[in-house]
Structures are given as structure tokens and as C-alpha cells.
Amino acid sequence: MLAPPRPAAAQAVRGEASVSTTGGYGRLVIRLTSEVDSNVRLSGNVLVIQFKHPIDVPVDRITAGATDYIGAARRDPDGRALRFALARKVKVSSMTAGERLFVDLMPESWTGEPPGLPREVVEELAQRARDAERLARQKIELERQRNMPPVRVRVASQPTFTRYIFELPELTAVTAERGKDMLKLSFSNSLRFDLAEAKLALPKMVQAIDNGGPAETTVVRFSFSQQADVRTFREDSNFVVDVSPVDVAPSQASKPSPLAGKTAPPALAEKPEGQAAMPPAPSAGGPGVAAKPEAAAAPPDPDKGPAVAPGQPPAAVAAQDAQPAATPERAPRRDPTRPAIAELRRHRDNLHLFFPFAAPPPAAVFQRADTLWLVFDSAVDIDVGVLASDPSRTIRSASAKRDGDAAGRSRSARRFKPRPGRLRSSAISRVTNARASPSRSRTRASRTG
């Protein structure tokens, strides 16, 4: 008594039909909401258009504008075919363009090629082809990007700046766009960056770092919370970004003191704290006679500076400082042409490099990625052979190079490659050994690791 359930009918694809008779032939255009495969055939004097799926296209009034070609038209009950009774013998030509079907009804006297598609339809199909090709390329790039290893972004923090090193797998074009509070880096290749280390320890001037962009390019954005000085450059195939803060307000040390230029009175300057100024005690010989000191003054110590009497004014102290101290003998001066042999010393976690010179030369130290550079403006040869046998294995390699400028001065450059993860900061200072030799000067480069 219960009938089996009937299968749900397929939903018909909606559309519209139109006909035109310009150009000496009739053109039937059927436009659907989606692409449906079709077949056009001529059976006697009846034009039959069959579809793979049911369609819903009204054709009852289509004969009003094409009575010379179509006498009647109807749609099959199942919606899978359209039938047109022709008013004359014609030649049939059909073309499919996306969701549109063009059926041309040409007279028997028609000669030559059948009519082609309209220009706007050809341009629309070309645009669709370009869009489909672009989407296919994006899909391939996204698939390749998911399978490729991520590009590491290393961070080196220094006291005055923070360095971000993009370790690119190959030479890639990079465009840097600087804004008021942002930096935008556009990479020509599709890359996937590992920003975990960069996001883990953000400096105070960097608010956020993120990446993203179209499939053809990769974009990395820096957002700054305050004014920052940004410098970008290349090192081999890597791309380096240096970010340093900009101090807008002057520091307290640079502000002039309101008491600058003023000198306290001698009595107040020499008076111990918490005691009132006392008049000089009368001597045993009576008024007007100066009292004799009970003990003779100790000889001055050359290491502690000249002796100062309790009531001596500052002008007298300055005069004593201006006079050269008498030394019993001077140590022999060091030969200025003698090579400076580098010395290597280690104190706890610090590694100190000493370069002894007869006279302190101008020097500079800077770091590029994992290489430490020391530059000396001196013609003296420098021996760095001891650095190759570093027992702590902190220095991986050391090399020396000499270069002269147009003025005839000679500069010596020393390059050190420390082992990864060992060096974190650098400093340079000059130490003068006054006891052994007043003219002996050593330049020390200190690295904390």
C-alpha cells in the first residue's frame, strides 16, 4: 500500500533566449546561468537543441521577431530539449561561448564562412582565459610555497641597534618602502619566512612584525612604536635591516647645570661636611705670628697626584697640576716600527684581544653579521697568528689586510669570524701602561659571549 519514494528531479538551469535577423541571417542566442553541454541538429524542417541537464528557458514568444526563419517553438516537458519549426530551408551553424549558445540560421544561398562571434564576446572569453591562467599560477605557487622550507630571519641585538638578517636561498630582488611609522619589504619571489625569533624579542621601538601578500610576492612589514632610524643593505644573497631608536628629547647629561661656571669659595670648598667654618687658632708666639706645623709634609706620591694643603685655594692646585711631575728616570721608548703582536686573554666569559702599539693609533671596530672588523690607522705590521690557536674555540678564523689611501697613510684591517652563538657585543678601548713604559699603548677589543 505504500508507494516507493520518487527520486528528486534535477533542478533546471534557468536562462533566456533571443533572436536577431541583422546581417542577412538569423541568429538564435540561448544564455544560461551555468555551462551546460548541448547538441544542435536539424531533423527535416525542425531544429532540435538537446541539453545534458534540464533547462528552464521560455521560448513561447521568440517567434515574434523572426517570422521569416522560425514558425513555432516549444520546450520538451522534461526540459532537456528545445524544438523550433523553421519557416524556410536554412543552413545551420552553432558555437558555444561559455554559458551562451549561438545558433546561426543562414539561407540556402549563403556562401563563404559562417558568421563569427561578436567582438565583446571574444574579449570576454580572452579575459576569462587570462584569469584562469593567473589562478592556476597562484595555485602552483601556493603549493610550492607550502612545500618549500621556511626562510630563517636571524636577529642580532646590539646596545645601539637591532639587526634583522633575511637568509634568502637565492639572490632575490627586494624593494624597501619607508613610511612614517612602518617599513615594508617586498620580495620578488614567493617565500615563506620564519619570524618566530624576530617576534620573540621585539625591541622597544618595534611594535610588530608580520608577513603576507599576493602569491607572486612576499611582503614583510615592520610597525614602529616610536621614531627609528632604519638602514638596509645586502650581504651576499642575504638582506639586512638595521633598526636603531632615535632619541627626541635631549638626555639629562647634555643639559647644562645651573651651577656651571660658578666656583665655591675656598673656605667652603675645603670645609668638611657638617662643620662650621672656624677661624685660625692663634699661635704660641702671639698674634701675628704663624704657627709652625708639628710634622713635615710627606713627599708627594706620583700615583696619587700632588699634595694639597687644607687651606690651599683651587688656583694653587691648578698651578701645581700644570707643573710636570719630576720622575727619577724614564723607561726607554718603544720602537715605533716594531710589529704589534696580538695578545689573547680570557676572563670568565669575556674574551679580550690586545694589540700593543708604541703610540695609540686611530681605531674602529664594527660587526657585519658573524664577522668582527677592526681597523687601525697605522703603518705598523700586526701579527694575528696567535688568534688562530684560540684554546676557547671562540674565534673561527682571522685574516689581515692592508690598504693605503690617497694621502699615503696606511690602514690595517683585521677580520675575525667567531663561531655561531658565541659573540654578542663588542667594545674598543685604549689602555696605557704607565709603569712599564709611558709610551707603550695597547688597543683592546673586548667581546662578551
Q: What is the DSSP string of 23-89?
A: TSSEEEEEEESS---EEEEEETTEEEEEESS-EE---TTGGGG-TTTEEEEEE-TTSSEEEEEESS-
User: Model's pTM, two decimal places?
Assistant: 0.38
| pLDDT at residue 251, rounded to an integer | 46
Question: For 54-64, what is each residue's pLDDT tens digit?
Answer: 999 998 888 88
Helix, strand, coil share (%) of the chain residues, nearest 5? 15, 40, 45
Which of 49-53, 166-170, 210-214, 237-241 shows the lowest mean pLDDT across its residues? 210-214
| Residue 371 to residue 219: CA distance in whole angstroms | 28
For the record, the C-alpha cell of 236 comes out as 651576499
Predicted confidence band at 376 (pLDDT cuts at 50, 70, 90)? confident
Task: Examine the pLDDT at 368 and tell me if it is beyond 50.
Answer: yes
Rounded to 5 degrees, φ, ψ at 381 are -70, 145
| Residue 176 to residue 186: CA distance in whole angstroms | 7
Instruction: Give the 3-state secondary structure of 346-376.
Output: EECCEEEEEEEECCCCCEEEEEECCEEEEEE
Tally Cβ neighbours within 10 Å of residue 414.
21
Contacts of 217 (CB under 8 A, 6+ apart): 186, 187, 188, 189, 190
| pLDDT at residue 217, rounded to an integer | 62
| Residue 344 to residue 446: CA distance in whole angstroms | 10
CB 124 within 8 A of CB 31: no
Question: What number of CA atoms fall less than 13 Å from residue 392's CA on the CB side?
Answer: 18
As a whole number, mean pLDDT of residues 265-279 equals 44
Question: For 251-270, what is each residue's pLDDT tens digit?
Answer: 444 445 444 444 444 443 44
As a whole number, mean pLDDT of residues 375-383 equals 83
For the record, the C-alpha cell of 3 comes out as 508507494
| pLDDT at residue 417, rounded to an integer | 61
CB 449 within 8 A of CB 394: yes
Owner of C-alpha cell 658565541: 422
As a whole number, mean pLDDT of residues 226-243 equals 91
Rounded to 5 degrees, φ, ψ at 126 are -65, -40
Look at residues 206, 209, 169 and name the one whose alpha carbon lies nearest to residue 188: 169
| pLDDT at residue 85, rounded to an integer | 92
| pLDDT at residue 62, rounded to an integer | 85
Task: Examine the pLDDT at 101 and tell me if it is beyond 90.
Answer: yes
Task: Examine the pLDDT at 203 and tell me if it is beyond 80.
Answer: yes
SS3 of 325, please?
coil
* Strands, E assignment, 148-191: 151-157, 162-166, 174-178, 182-187
For the record, the C-alpha cell of 279 comes out as 677661624
| pLDDT at residue 288, rounded to an integer | 41
As a whole number, mean pLDDT of residues 170-180 equals 88
Higher pLDDT, 297 or 88: 88
For the record, the C-alpha cell of 263 comes out as 666656583
Task: Examine the pLDDT at 294 and tell me if it is beyond 70.
Answer: no
Contacts of 380 (CB under 8 A, 6+ apart): 336, 337, 338, 339, 340, 357, 358, 361, 412
From residue 281, give the alpha-carbon distance in Å to each of 265, 275, 288, 292, 310: 20, 16, 11, 12, 14
| pLDDT at residue 162, rounded to an integer | 93
CB 356 within 8 A of CB 432: no
Radius of gyration over every alpha carbon of the chain, rounded to an integer in angstroms:
46
Task: Examine the pLDDT at 248 and tell me if it is beyond 80.
Answer: no
For the record, the C-alpha cell of 38 comes out as 548541448
Look at residues 169, 290, 258, 253 and name the one whose alpha carbon lies nearest to residue 218: 169
Tally Cβ neighbours within 10 Å of residue 151.
20
Instruction: Please give the domain boundaries of the chain with CATH numbers for all domains.
Output: 13-110 (2.60.40.3500), 151-245 (2.60.40.3500), 340-448 (2.60.40)
